[in-house]
Every structure is written in C-alpha cells, then in structure tokens.
Amino acid sequence: MRIDVVSIFPEYLAALDLSLIGKARLQGLLELSVEDLRRYTTDRHRTVDDTPYGGGAGMVMKPEPWALALEDVLERGAAAPGPAAPGAGTPPGERPVLVVPSPAGEVFTQAVARELAEREHLVFACGRYEGIDERVVDWARERFEVRPMSLGDYVLNGGEVAVLAMVEAIGRLVPGVIGNPESLVEESHSDGLLEYPVYTKPALWRDRPVPEVLLSGHHGRIARWRRDLQLRRTAARRPDLVAALDPAALDRADRAV
C-alpha cells in the first residue's frame, strides 16, 4: 500500500516513523511519504490561505497549491511499482482514495478502516479546520475517490492528528503489519462490541484478585464470561453500538459461545 500525506506541518507526521507503522515501512509493507504543501506555492511568501468569500472568521486554503500537490502525488503514484502488479503502480480502474479530514466528514469507523486497508493508494489532504476551497474537492473527484472523514463530533485545529489516527487504524490492518493476525479478531469493534477486560500476573495485586473464572482453566466458562462482559460493557458505555447490532446475528453469535 502506498500512502501520501500533504500538510503544511509535515513534522506532525514524524510519529509515523515509529512503532508498528514505522516497522511496516522499513519492511516495505507500507510506502509512506509526507509532502509539505508550501513546496507547491509560487509566491515569495509561500501563501497557502486567504480570506473567505462571503465573509466570516478565519482563513480558507487556496486551491492552486492543493491542485499542484495532488497532481504531483498522482504522478508519482502512477510511476511507483505496486506489489500487485510490478511496474504498474495503481491498478488501472482503481482510482486512488483522497481522504479529506474534516469535522464535517463521514465518521471514520473500524468498517471504514477495513475498507481503506484494501486499497492500493491512499492520499490524505490535511487542511486547517476552516477548510480548503471547495472547488478542490470537485476537481479532485475527477481524479480520486474523495472521502471527507471525521474522527468524531469535536473540532481539531487541523487534519494532522486525525491522519495519525487514521493511518494507524488502517495500516495495522494491512496483511503482515501485525505479527499475529489473531490479535485483530478479539479486539474492540471487530464484532460490533467493545472488548472484554483483561488481566495479567500477579493473581492477587493490592488486595485485588483476578476474576476467579480466568484461573479455572475452563475454556467454555471463560468464553461465556468474556462474552457477557462484552455485552454489559457495550450496553453501559455505548448503547448506540448495541442499537446498531442485528439482534438475530447477536443471538446466533451468543449461542456459539
């Protein structure tokens, strides 16, 4: 998978050199580059924003640096050898995805992360929250599959922190990035429920024992206990998730435990 990020604060994305995602890059599983939007300005002051037409607070990002940056990213993506088809880059017929982080976007969920983890080329366009001139989005729709994406109902100053979260959520689903793929099966949101609580040694810590069932060695009872805690926890913390579940599928999954 190839990922390009365009930002006026490329240093923000330095965290993607670390940990699992950093390792995946070294292994060649992910090819990630970060571009400074200001490289694509043409004036002496390297201006990326201007006042909004129609008035209002804040500034709006100018369209031309974005078009030049995205054209550059497309050109390099087309030339890059992709693992699926050596020497071909992005497969013909599959347009790259342009993710535009914005509090006005569609909510980024585990389902979206799974979907994007299947794509060959993702491009993230970090704007400041007043936004990018809307004509860039219209222009980009002819070249990309455009996905305005929000992390949730709160406002960040720019898209960079959201991109760190999205790239981590997507990158860990790319085959080979996580050493033990089993760990993707029993985590929160894998089945629409929150994860059960976990414990490690010592069995008694500061007068607090580990739930006895976990020491029983009885796999059936442990699975039942974990499932019940998942359900209780999800009902208490995230009633919206419970409401979204298909009751028949939930019953079937429950009887299988």
Contacts with ligand 6GU by CB under 6 A lie at 101-103, 105, 129, 149-152, 154-156, 158-159, 162
| φ and ψ at residue 2, rounded to 5 degrees | -110, 135
Contact 252, 219 (CB under 8 A): no
| Choice between 8 and 193, CB closer to ligand 6GU | 8
Task: Write out the two tokens for 197.
Answer: 């609580």
| Choice between 109 and 183, CB closer to ligand 6GU | 109
Least gap, CB of 68 to ligand 6GU (angstroms):
22
| Choice between 151 and 193, CB closer to ligand 6GU | 151
d(C-alpha 90, C-alpha 145), whole Å: 13
- Residue 51 to residues 44, 48, 62, Cα–Cα distance (Å): 18, 11, 9
Least gap, CB of 153 to ligand 6GU (angstroms):
7
Least gap, CB of 148 to ligand 6GU (angstroms):
8
Q: According to the annotation, is 127 in a ligand binding site?
A: yes
Indicate the SS3 state at residue 64: helix
Least gap, CB of 154 to ligand 6GU (angstroms):
5
Q: According to the annotation, is 176 in a ligand binding site?
A: no
- Residue 186 to residues 46, 52, 126, Cα–Cα distance (Å): 48, 47, 32
Least gap, CB of 224 to ligand 6GU (angstroms):
37
Q: According to the annotation, is 155 in a ligand binding site?
A: yes
| Choice between 22 and 105, CB closer to ligand 6GU | 105
| Choice between 35 and 160, CB closer to ligand 6GU | 160
Q: Work out the angle at residue 35's Cα, subtended by the Cα atoms of residues 117 and 133, and round it to the nearest 5 degrees.
A: 90
| φ and ψ at residue 208, rounded to 5 degrees | -110, 115
Cite the annotated binding site by residue number: 127, 151-156
